[in-house]
Structure 1
């Protein structure tokens, strides 16, 4: 095991059980040991993704200030 992975696991041990399970699922998926179930999108979600792709094609992206405001809103 690498030093970085060992450090990450040590930090993960201090997290709540649900966060530890989330991390474990991600590691298993990245290692190819667990296949993720497909995500079924609603019509609204499909429309939102289509609108986002069109905006990206036009070069319309959030400013750094908008991204920071969104992160702050969600405590990130």
Structure 2
């Protein structure tokens, strides 16, 4: 039996949906997809379980270089 991560990746590729793989936890792989007005994150765990988070919002411009510098300073 193959891991559900591979099935998810095959489905995304068949649908021509761009995705990025990353890791932020030792027990999962993060599959991230970005669409107009929405970002989707799927954590696929080593046991095959999937947790899905959806982030919806406008894509309005909310600032300029000053804003990005403040965001970096707040988190740095």
Which is strand-richer, 1 or 2? 2
Q: Choose 1 or 2 for highest CA Rg.
A: 1
Structure with more contact order per residue of length (Cα contacts < 8 Å, sep ≥ 6): 2
Superposition TM-score, scaled by structure 2 size: 0.31
More helix by share: 1
TM-score (norm 1): 0.31
